[in-house]
Amino acid sequence: MIGQLIYAFEGQTMVLPVENKVRNHETFLAPCGILTITFGICSLFMQFLGFIGYTTYGAETGVTITENVPNDG
């Protein structure tokens, strides 16, 4: 689970270059700033996709993607 979260937020290495380009640095890291809102939207989107996937395939869904791939060959 931790690995999936790290992979999901791997794009945070772009935070510093983007922060350098922002005109008002205080709004970037504020509690309701650009970074917080962006990560929140990404989190909601990933939760939505997980919900849709689970409701589509039900309890047969594996924890990782590779568990869902058939072993037939």
Q: What percent of the chain has pLDDT over 70?
A: 77
Q: What is the pLDDT of residues 3-36, one digit of tens each?
A: 666 667 676 666 667 777 778 878 877 888 888 8
CB 30 within 8 A of CB 20: no
Residue 69, burial from CB neighbour count under 10 angstroms (0-12, 13-18, 19+) = exposed
Round to whole Å and give the CA distance between 59 and 10: 28
Where along the chain do its domains lie? 30-59
How many other C-beta atoms are found inside a 10 Å radius of the C-beta of residue 15? 15
Query: Which of the pair, 47 or 14, is modelled with greater confidence?
Result: 47
- The average pLDDT across 45-65 equals 83
